[in-house]
Amino acid sequence: MPLISSSSKRLVALLVAAGLAACSTGPAHVRPVVNLPAQFVVEPGSADWQARSPQGFASSEAVWTAFEDAQLTRLLTAAGQGSQTLKAAEARYRAARATLQISEAGRLPQLDSRLKASQNHDTGSASSASLSVGVSWEVDLWGRIARAVEGATATAEAGAHDLAAARLSLQALVAQTYLQWRAGMAEATLWQRILEADRRLLALTHERHGIGVVSGLDVAQAETQLANSEAQAAENDLRVRQTRHALATLVGDPALTLSVETSLPKIPATPVLVPSRLVERRPDIQAAERRVAAANAAIGQAKTAFFPTLNLTADAGLRGSHLARIASQPIHFWSLGPSLALTVFDADARRAGVSRAEAEHEAVVAEYRQVVLTAFQEVQDNLAAAQGLTIQAAHQETAVSAARRASAIAVAQYQAGTISGMDTLATQRAEQSAEIQSLRLWERRMTASVQIFKIVAGEI
Protein backbone atom coordinates (compact mmCIF):
# COMPACT_ATOMS: atom_id res chain seq x y z
CA MET A 1 0.00 0.00 0.00
CA PRO A 2 1.54 3.36 -0.90
CA LEU A 3 2.30 5.73 1.96
CA ILE A 4 0.40 8.61 0.26
CA SER A 5 -2.90 7.99 -1.48
CA SER A 6 -3.84 9.44 -4.86
CA SER A 7 -6.42 11.77 -3.27
CA SER A 8 -3.74 13.17 -0.95
CA LYS A 9 -1.44 13.66 -3.89
CA ARG A 10 -4.16 15.62 -5.69
CA LEU A 11 -4.65 17.75 -2.59
CA VAL A 12 -0.93 18.47 -2.36
CA ALA A 13 -0.78 19.39 -6.05
CA LEU A 14 -3.78 21.69 -5.67
CA LEU A 15 -2.25 23.47 -2.68
CA VAL A 16 1.12 23.82 -4.39
CA ALA A 17 -0.56 25.31 -7.46
CA ALA A 18 -2.46 27.72 -5.22
CA GLY A 19 0.78 28.75 -3.55
CA LEU A 20 2.52 29.31 -6.86
CA ALA A 21 -0.40 31.42 -8.07
CA ALA A 22 -0.47 33.46 -4.88
CA CYS A 23 -1.62 37.00 -5.33
CA SER A 24 0.23 40.00 -3.97
CA THR A 25 -1.76 42.03 -1.48
CA GLY A 26 -1.22 45.76 -1.13
CA PRO A 27 -0.10 48.63 -3.40
CA ALA A 28 2.66 48.40 -5.98
CA HIS A 29 5.75 50.48 -5.30
CA VAL A 30 6.00 53.73 -7.25
CA ARG A 31 9.03 56.00 -6.96
CA PRO A 32 7.88 59.26 -5.32
CA VAL A 33 7.82 62.26 -7.62
CA VAL A 34 9.85 65.35 -6.75
CA ASN A 35 9.40 68.41 -8.93
CA LEU A 36 12.85 69.67 -9.89
CA PRO A 37 14.15 71.80 -12.76
CA ALA A 38 15.50 69.86 -15.70
CA GLN A 39 19.04 71.16 -15.25
CA PHE A 40 21.12 73.12 -12.77
CA VAL A 41 21.11 76.87 -13.23
CA VAL A 42 24.49 78.45 -13.86
CA GLU A 43 24.04 81.34 -11.44
CA PRO A 44 21.18 82.79 -9.34
CA GLY A 45 18.63 84.60 -11.46
CA SER A 46 20.06 83.35 -14.75
CA ALA A 47 17.92 81.74 -17.43
CA ASP A 48 20.92 80.00 -18.94
CA TRP A 49 20.82 76.24 -18.34
CA GLN A 50 23.48 73.60 -18.82
CA ALA A 51 22.33 70.38 -20.49
CA ARG A 52 25.70 68.63 -20.81
CA SER A 53 26.49 65.30 -19.18
CA PRO A 54 28.86 65.01 -16.22
CA GLN A 55 32.47 64.03 -16.61
CA GLY A 56 32.81 60.30 -16.06
CA PHE A 57 35.08 58.51 -13.61
CA ALA A 58 35.90 54.83 -13.23
CA SER A 59 35.22 54.75 -9.47
CA SER A 60 34.49 56.98 -6.50
CA GLU A 61 38.20 56.82 -5.62
CA ALA A 62 39.26 57.93 -9.10
CA VAL A 63 37.32 61.18 -8.91
CA TRP A 64 39.73 62.57 -6.29
CA THR A 65 42.70 62.31 -8.66
CA ALA A 66 41.48 65.62 -10.09
CA PHE A 67 43.13 67.27 -7.07
CA GLU A 68 46.52 65.91 -8.25
CA ASP A 69 47.78 65.24 -4.73
CA ALA A 70 49.60 61.95 -4.10
CA GLN A 71 49.37 62.33 -0.32
CA LEU A 72 45.59 62.78 -0.53
CA THR A 73 45.35 59.63 -2.64
CA ARG A 74 47.35 57.72 -0.02
CA LEU A 75 45.11 58.99 2.77
CA LEU A 76 41.95 57.98 0.90
CA THR A 77 43.31 54.46 0.44
CA ALA A 78 44.23 54.27 4.12
CA ALA A 79 40.77 55.48 5.15
CA GLY A 80 39.10 52.79 3.04
CA GLN A 81 41.06 50.16 4.96
CA GLY A 82 41.21 51.59 8.48
CA SER A 83 38.06 53.65 9.03
CA GLN A 84 35.95 52.20 11.83
CA THR A 85 32.93 54.14 10.57
CA LEU A 86 33.19 52.36 7.23
CA LYS A 87 33.65 48.99 8.93
CA ALA A 88 30.44 49.61 10.90
CA ALA A 89 28.56 50.45 7.67
CA GLU A 90 29.87 47.25 6.06
CA ALA A 91 28.71 45.21 9.06
CA ARG A 92 25.23 46.76 8.91
CA TYR A 93 25.02 45.87 5.22
CA ARG A 94 25.95 42.24 5.98
CA ALA A 95 23.25 42.18 8.66
CA ALA A 96 20.70 43.42 6.11
CA ARG A 97 21.76 40.67 3.69
CA ALA A 98 21.36 38.07 6.45
CA THR A 99 17.86 39.37 7.19
CA LEU A 100 17.00 38.93 3.53
CA GLN A 101 18.18 35.30 3.66
CA ILE A 102 15.98 34.71 6.69
CA SER A 103 12.96 36.12 4.84
CA GLU A 104 13.67 34.04 1.73
CA ALA A 105 13.81 30.89 3.86
CA GLY A 106 10.09 31.37 4.55
CA ARG A 107 9.31 30.45 0.95
CA LEU A 108 10.56 26.88 1.43
CA PRO A 109 9.17 24.00 3.51
CA GLN A 110 10.58 23.55 7.01
CA LEU A 111 11.87 20.06 7.88
CA ASP A 112 12.27 18.79 11.44
CA SER A 113 12.82 15.43 13.13
CA ARG A 114 11.54 14.21 16.48
CA LEU A 115 12.41 11.34 18.81
CA LYS A 116 9.77 10.70 21.44
CA ALA A 117 9.55 8.17 24.27
CA SER A 118 6.96 7.74 27.01
CA GLN A 119 7.65 5.93 30.27
CA ASN A 120 5.46 3.76 32.47
CA HIS A 121 5.72 5.19 36.00
CA ASP A 122 4.80 1.85 37.61
CA THR A 123 7.46 -0.33 36.00
CA GLY A 124 10.06 2.30 35.15
CA SER A 125 10.37 0.95 31.61
CA ALA A 126 9.72 2.76 28.32
CA SER A 127 6.23 1.83 27.17
CA SER A 128 6.38 3.43 23.70
CA ALA A 129 8.75 5.32 21.41
CA SER A 130 8.59 6.98 18.03
CA LEU A 131 10.96 8.50 15.51
CA SER A 132 9.41 10.83 12.96
CA VAL A 133 10.21 13.43 10.33
CA GLY A 134 7.87 16.35 9.77
CA VAL A 135 7.49 18.87 6.97
CA SER A 136 5.53 22.09 7.26
CA TRP A 137 4.95 24.71 4.59
CA GLU A 138 2.93 27.90 4.59
CA VAL A 139 1.21 28.31 1.25
CA ASP A 140 1.67 31.98 0.44
CA LEU A 141 -1.80 32.54 -0.99
CA TRP A 142 -1.96 36.25 -0.21
CA GLY A 143 1.68 37.18 -0.67
CA ARG A 144 2.60 37.66 3.00
CA ILE A 145 5.94 35.93 2.59
CA ALA A 146 6.50 37.50 -0.83
CA ARG A 147 5.93 40.94 0.67
CA ALA A 148 8.31 40.15 3.52
CA VAL A 149 10.97 39.11 1.00
CA GLU A 150 10.25 42.22 -1.08
CA GLY A 151 10.70 44.44 1.97
CA ALA A 152 13.86 42.65 3.09
CA THR A 153 15.27 42.91 -0.44
CA ALA A 154 14.62 46.66 -0.54
CA THR A 155 16.15 47.05 2.91
CA ALA A 156 19.26 45.13 1.84
CA GLU A 157 19.53 47.29 -1.29
CA ALA A 158 19.20 50.38 0.90
CA GLY A 159 22.03 48.98 3.01
CA ALA A 160 24.19 48.65 -0.10
CA HIS A 161 23.50 52.29 -1.01
CA ASP A 162 24.11 53.34 2.60
CA LEU A 163 27.50 51.65 2.42
CA ALA A 164 28.31 53.46 -0.82
CA ALA A 165 27.16 56.75 0.70
CA ALA A 166 29.25 56.14 3.83
CA ARG A 167 32.32 55.41 1.70
CA LEU A 168 31.76 58.52 -0.41
CA SER A 169 31.12 60.72 2.64
CA LEU A 170 34.27 59.38 4.26
CA GLN A 171 36.32 60.16 1.17
CA ALA A 172 34.93 63.70 0.99
CA LEU A 173 35.53 64.26 4.70
CA VAL A 174 39.10 62.99 4.44
CA ALA A 175 39.73 65.26 1.44
CA GLN A 176 38.18 68.27 3.15
CA THR A 177 40.04 67.69 6.43
CA TYR A 178 43.33 67.15 4.63
CA LEU A 179 42.88 70.37 2.65
CA GLN A 180 42.04 72.22 5.86
CA TRP A 181 45.29 70.91 7.30
CA ARG A 182 47.17 72.10 4.21
CA ALA A 183 45.55 75.52 4.58
CA GLY A 184 46.56 75.62 8.24
CA MET A 185 50.14 74.70 7.40
CA ALA A 186 50.24 77.41 4.74
CA GLU A 187 48.86 79.89 7.25
CA ALA A 188 51.52 78.80 9.75
CA THR A 189 54.18 79.70 7.15
CA LEU A 190 52.45 83.03 6.59
CA TRP A 191 52.44 83.75 10.31
CA GLN A 192 56.16 83.12 10.46
CA ARG A 193 56.65 85.79 7.79
CA ILE A 194 54.30 88.13 9.65
CA LEU A 195 56.18 87.60 12.91
CA GLU A 196 59.49 88.29 11.21
CA ALA A 197 58.08 91.53 9.78
CA ASP A 198 56.65 92.53 13.16
CA ARG A 199 59.97 91.84 14.88
CA ARG A 200 61.85 93.91 12.30
CA LEU A 201 59.41 96.77 12.77
CA LEU A 202 59.73 96.53 16.56
CA ALA A 203 63.54 96.56 16.29
CA LEU A 204 63.38 99.59 14.00
CA THR A 205 61.00 101.33 16.41
CA HIS A 206 63.35 100.65 19.36
CA GLU A 207 66.22 102.06 17.30
CA ARG A 208 64.29 105.21 16.44
CA HIS A 209 63.10 105.56 20.01
CA GLY A 210 66.70 105.30 21.19
CA ILE A 211 67.70 108.33 19.14
CA GLY A 212 64.61 110.23 20.20
CA VAL A 213 62.81 110.23 16.84
CA VAL A 214 59.66 108.44 18.09
CA SER A 215 57.98 108.22 21.46
CA GLY A 216 57.33 105.27 23.71
CA LEU A 217 53.84 105.11 22.24
CA ASP A 218 55.26 103.80 18.95
CA VAL A 219 57.23 101.16 20.84
CA ALA A 220 54.15 100.04 22.79
CA GLN A 221 52.08 99.83 19.60
CA ALA A 222 54.73 97.75 17.82
CA GLU A 223 54.99 95.45 20.84
CA THR A 224 51.19 95.08 20.86
CA GLN A 225 51.12 94.09 17.19
CA LEU A 226 53.88 91.51 17.70
CA ALA A 227 52.14 90.02 20.73
CA ASN A 228 48.82 89.84 18.86
CA SER A 229 50.51 88.13 15.92
CA GLU A 230 52.17 85.62 18.24
CA ALA A 231 48.81 84.82 19.83
CA GLN A 232 47.11 84.31 16.47
CA ALA A 233 50.02 82.17 15.26
CA ALA A 234 49.62 80.00 18.38
CA GLU A 235 45.86 79.73 17.71
CA ASN A 236 46.55 78.59 14.15
CA ASP A 237 49.09 76.07 15.43
CA LEU A 238 46.41 74.58 17.69
CA ARG A 239 44.03 74.39 14.74
CA VAL A 240 46.64 72.59 12.64
CA ARG A 241 47.33 70.00 15.33
CA GLN A 242 43.64 69.32 15.97
CA THR A 243 42.96 69.00 12.25
CA ARG A 244 45.79 66.49 12.00
CA HIS A 245 44.33 64.52 14.92
CA ALA A 246 40.94 64.48 13.18
CA LEU A 247 42.55 63.24 9.97
CA ALA A 248 44.34 60.45 11.86
CA THR A 249 41.01 59.35 13.36
CA LEU A 250 39.30 59.35 9.96
CA VAL A 251 41.92 57.06 8.42
CA GLY A 252 42.12 54.89 11.56
CA ASP A 253 45.83 55.53 12.16
CA PRO A 254 46.76 57.46 15.35
CA ALA A 255 50.42 57.37 14.26
CA LEU A 256 49.65 59.11 10.96
CA THR A 257 52.60 60.83 9.31
CA LEU A 258 52.17 63.64 6.83
CA SER A 259 54.70 65.29 4.56
CA VAL A 260 54.61 69.07 4.51
CA GLU A 261 54.45 70.73 1.11
CA THR A 262 55.54 74.34 0.71
CA SER A 263 53.00 75.13 -2.00
CA LEU A 264 49.22 74.71 -1.89
CA PRO A 265 47.49 72.23 -4.20
CA LYS A 266 45.87 73.83 -7.18
CA ILE A 267 42.11 74.12 -7.24
CA PRO A 268 40.72 71.68 -9.83
CA ALA A 269 38.49 72.95 -12.57
CA THR A 270 34.80 72.64 -11.74
CA PRO A 271 33.31 69.58 -13.49
CA VAL A 272 30.76 70.11 -16.21
CA LEU A 273 27.46 71.10 -14.63
CA VAL A 274 25.14 68.12 -14.45
CA PRO A 275 21.42 67.83 -15.16
CA SER A 276 19.39 67.90 -11.97
CA ARG A 277 17.76 64.55 -12.75
CA LEU A 278 21.15 62.96 -12.05
CA VAL A 279 20.94 64.08 -8.43
CA GLU A 280 18.75 61.05 -7.84
CA ARG A 281 21.70 58.79 -8.64
CA ARG A 282 23.38 59.76 -5.39
CA PRO A 283 23.68 56.74 -3.06
CA ASP A 284 21.96 58.50 -0.16
CA ILE A 285 18.96 59.23 -2.40
CA GLN A 286 18.97 55.69 -3.73
CA ALA A 287 18.96 54.39 -0.15
CA ALA A 288 16.01 56.65 0.73
CA GLU A 289 14.07 55.38 -2.31
CA ARG A 290 14.70 51.76 -1.33
CA ARG A 291 13.34 52.48 2.15
CA VAL A 292 10.17 53.77 0.51
CA ALA A 293 9.92 50.44 -1.34
CA ALA A 294 10.43 48.52 1.93
CA ALA A 295 7.73 50.57 3.67
CA ASN A 296 5.38 49.96 0.75
CA ALA A 297 5.94 46.20 1.05
CA ALA A 298 5.16 46.45 4.77
CA ILE A 299 1.69 47.81 3.89
CA GLY A 300 0.98 44.73 1.79
CA GLN A 301 2.30 42.46 4.51
CA ALA A 302 0.05 44.14 7.10
CA LYS A 303 -3.02 43.71 4.85
CA THR A 304 -2.48 39.95 4.54
CA ALA A 305 -3.42 39.64 8.23
CA PHE A 306 -7.08 39.94 7.14
CA PHE A 307 -6.84 36.67 5.18
CA PRO A 308 -6.55 33.11 6.48
CA THR A 309 -3.18 31.40 6.76
CA LEU A 310 -2.92 28.09 4.95
CA ASN A 311 -0.37 25.57 6.22
CA LEU A 312 0.39 22.16 4.79
CA THR A 313 1.96 19.66 7.17
CA ALA A 314 3.17 16.09 6.67
CA ASP A 315 4.62 13.63 9.15
CA ALA A 316 6.05 10.18 8.62
CA GLY A 317 7.96 7.86 10.90
CA LEU A 318 8.36 4.69 12.86
CA ARG A 319 6.79 3.60 16.15
CA GLY A 320 7.50 0.76 18.56
CA SER A 321 6.76 -0.38 22.10
CA HIS A 322 10.45 0.17 23.00
CA LEU A 323 13.26 2.18 21.49
CA ALA A 324 14.97 -1.00 20.38
CA ARG A 325 11.87 -2.21 18.54
CA ILE A 326 11.86 0.84 16.24
CA ALA A 327 14.68 -0.75 14.28
CA SER A 328 13.69 -4.43 14.65
CA GLN A 329 9.88 -4.36 14.55
CA PRO A 330 8.84 -0.89 13.41
CA ILE A 331 5.29 0.27 12.85
CA HIS A 332 5.11 2.75 9.98
CA PHE A 333 2.86 5.81 10.24
CA TRP A 334 2.25 9.00 8.26
CA SER A 335 -0.11 11.94 8.21
CA LEU A 336 -0.85 14.71 5.74
CA GLY A 337 -3.22 17.59 6.00
CA PRO A 338 -3.80 21.29 5.42
CA SER A 339 -4.89 23.75 8.07
CA LEU A 340 -6.51 27.17 7.79
CA ALA A 341 -6.19 29.77 10.51
CA LEU A 342 -8.00 33.09 10.59
CA THR A 343 -8.23 35.62 13.38
CA VAL A 344 -11.92 36.38 13.97
CA PHE A 345 -11.69 39.16 16.56
CA ASP A 346 -8.64 41.24 17.49
CA ALA A 347 -10.16 44.56 18.64
CA ASP A 348 -9.06 46.23 15.37
CA ALA A 349 -5.41 45.33 15.90
CA ARG A 350 -4.99 44.32 12.25
CA ARG A 351 -6.61 47.53 11.01
CA ALA A 352 -4.30 49.51 13.26
CA GLY A 353 -1.35 47.57 11.88
CA VAL A 354 -2.29 48.62 8.34
CA SER A 355 -2.74 52.24 9.45
CA ARG A 356 0.67 52.17 11.10
CA ALA A 357 2.30 50.75 7.96
CA GLU A 358 0.63 53.39 5.78
CA ALA A 359 1.72 56.19 8.11
CA GLU A 360 5.29 54.89 8.15
CA HIS A 361 5.19 54.78 4.35
CA GLU A 362 4.06 58.41 4.21
CA ALA A 363 6.89 59.34 6.57
CA VAL A 364 9.64 57.71 4.47
CA VAL A 365 8.15 59.23 1.29
CA ALA A 366 8.43 62.67 2.88
CA GLU A 367 11.96 61.84 4.04
CA TYR A 368 12.88 60.75 0.51
CA ARG A 369 11.60 64.00 -0.98
CA GLN A 370 13.47 65.99 1.64
CA VAL A 371 16.70 64.14 0.85
CA VAL A 372 16.25 64.95 -2.85
CA LEU A 373 15.47 68.60 -2.17
CA THR A 374 18.44 68.92 0.17
CA ALA A 375 20.70 67.28 -2.40
CA PHE A 376 19.50 69.70 -5.06
CA GLN A 377 20.17 72.64 -2.75
CA GLU A 378 23.63 71.24 -1.96
CA VAL A 379 24.48 71.10 -5.65
CA GLN A 380 23.20 74.61 -6.30
CA ASP A 381 24.95 76.03 -3.22
CA ASN A 382 28.32 74.53 -4.09
CA LEU A 383 28.12 75.48 -7.75
CA ALA A 384 27.28 79.03 -6.67
CA ALA A 385 30.13 78.93 -4.13
CA ALA A 386 32.61 77.72 -6.71
CA GLN A 387 31.65 80.53 -9.06
CA GLY A 388 31.30 83.28 -6.45
CA LEU A 389 34.46 82.39 -4.55
CA THR A 390 36.47 82.34 -7.78
CA ILE A 391 35.41 85.93 -8.42
CA GLN A 392 36.22 86.88 -4.82
CA ALA A 393 39.62 85.20 -5.04
CA ALA A 394 40.55 87.22 -8.12
CA HIS A 395 39.69 90.47 -6.34
CA GLN A 396 41.46 89.28 -3.22
CA GLU A 397 44.68 88.63 -5.13
CA THR A 398 44.52 92.22 -6.35
CA ALA A 399 44.03 93.37 -2.76
CA VAL A 400 47.00 91.29 -1.56
CA SER A 401 49.26 92.70 -4.24
CA ALA A 402 48.23 96.27 -3.43
CA ALA A 403 48.59 95.71 0.34
CA ARG A 404 52.11 94.35 -0.11
CA ARG A 405 53.13 97.40 -2.10
CA ALA A 406 51.56 99.72 0.47
CA SER A 407 53.33 97.94 3.33
CA ALA A 408 56.71 98.17 1.64
CA ILE A 409 56.19 101.88 0.95
CA ALA A 410 55.07 102.50 4.53
CA VAL A 411 58.14 100.84 6.04
CA ALA A 412 60.42 102.86 3.77
CA GLN A 413 58.64 106.08 4.66
CA TYR A 414 58.77 105.19 8.36
CA GLN A 415 62.51 104.68 8.09
CA ALA A 416 62.76 108.05 6.40
CA GLY A 417 60.65 109.60 9.14
CA THR A 418 57.91 110.87 6.85
CA ILE A 419 55.03 108.85 8.40
CA SER A 420 54.18 107.78 11.91
CA GLY A 421 54.48 104.34 13.43
CA MET A 422 50.69 104.14 13.62
CA ASP A 423 50.39 104.49 9.83
CA THR A 424 53.06 101.85 9.33
CA LEU A 425 51.31 99.41 11.65
CA ALA A 426 48.00 100.03 9.90
CA THR A 427 49.43 99.19 6.47
CA GLN A 428 51.11 96.05 7.84
CA ARG A 429 47.85 94.92 9.45
CA ALA A 430 46.07 95.48 6.13
CA GLU A 431 48.66 93.33 4.35
CA GLN A 432 48.36 90.56 6.94
CA SER A 433 44.57 90.64 6.79
CA ALA A 434 44.57 90.48 2.98
CA GLU A 435 46.94 87.50 2.88
CA ILE A 436 45.02 85.57 5.55
CA GLN A 437 41.74 86.29 3.79
CA SER A 438 43.28 84.98 0.56
CA LEU A 439 44.17 81.72 2.32
CA ARG A 440 40.70 81.41 3.81
CA LEU A 441 39.18 81.90 0.36
CA TRP A 442 41.43 79.16 -1.00
CA GLU A 443 40.17 76.84 1.73
CA ARG A 444 36.54 77.71 1.04
CA ARG A 445 37.03 77.15 -2.70
CA MET A 446 38.61 73.79 -2.00
CA THR A 447 35.71 72.83 0.28
CA ALA A 448 33.23 73.70 -2.48
CA SER A 449 35.32 71.69 -4.97
CA VAL A 450 35.32 68.67 -2.65
CA GLN A 451 31.53 68.78 -2.39
CA ILE A 452 31.10 69.15 -6.15
CA PHE A 453 33.41 66.22 -6.87
CA LYS A 454 31.58 64.20 -4.23
CA ILE A 455 28.39 64.82 -6.21
CA VAL A 456 30.10 63.82 -9.44
CA ALA A 457 31.41 60.63 -7.83
CA GLY A 458 27.91 59.80 -6.65
CA GLU A 459 26.53 59.96 -10.18
CA ILE A 460 28.68 57.32 -11.85
Burial class (CB in 10 A: 0-12, 13-18, 19+), 389: buried
Give the residue from 161, 163, 171, 158 showing the smallest Cα distance to 60: 171
Query: Of all helices (H) and strands (E), which one includes residue 173?
Result: helix 144-210
Q: How confident is the model at residue 360 (pLDDT cuts 50, 70, 90)?
A: very high
The stretch 91-105 carries a mean pLDDT of 84
Using CA atoms, how far residue 447 sits from 67, 148, 189, 341, 382, in Å, is: 12, 43, 21, 61, 9
Question: How high does pLDDT run on average in the chain?
Answer: 80
Distance (Å, rounded) from C-alpha 34 to C-alpha 434? 44
Using CA atoms, how far residue 206 sits from 123, 223, 429, in Å, is: 117, 10, 19
The stretch 325-344 carries a mean pLDDT of 66
pLDDT(264) > 60: yes
Q: How confident is the model at residue 398 (pLDDT cuts 50, 70, 90)?
A: very high
Give the residue from 188, 313, 182 showing the smallest Cα distance to 260: 182
Do 342 and 144 touch, CB atoms closer than 8 A? no
pLDDT(459) > 60: no
Distance (Å, rounded) from C-alpha 114 to C-alpha 318? 11
Least confident span in 260-264, 313-317, 358-362, 414-418: 313-317
Q: How confident is the model at residue 121 (pLDDT cuts 50, 70, 90)?
A: low
Q: Would you list the DSSP string of 184-207?
A: HHHHHHHHHHHHHHHHHHHHHHHH
Looking at 3.40.50.11440, 1.20.1600.10, 1.10.3720.10, 3.40.50.300, the CATH number of the domain 60-108+140-307+342-457 comes to 1.20.1600.10
**pLDDT of the residue at 405:** 95
Distance (Å, rounded) from C-alpha 295 to C-alpha 420? 74
Give the residue from 297, 345, 315 showing the smallest Cα distance to 153: 297
Instruction: Note the pLDDT tens digit of each residue in 303-326.
Output: 888 888 777 777 776 666 665 555
Work out the number of other CB atoms within 10 angstroms of the CB of residue 117.
Answer: 14
Instruction: Note the pLDDT tens digit of each residue in 200-226.
Output: 999 999 998 999 888 899 999 999 999
pLDDT(24) > 80: no
Do 424 and 410 touch, CB atoms closer than 8 A? yes
The stretch 298-302 carries a mean pLDDT of 88
Note the pTM of the prediction, 2 decimals. 0.78
pLDDT(45) > 70: no
pLDDT(48) > 80: no
Q: How confident is the model at residue 127 (pLDDT cuts 50, 70, 90)?
A: low
**DSSP letter (8 states) at residue 122:** T
Burial class (CB in 10 A: 0-12, 13-18, 19+), 22: middle
For 275, phi then psi, to 5°, come to -60, 145
Sketch the domain layout of the chain as residue ranges.
Answer: 60-108+140-307+342-457
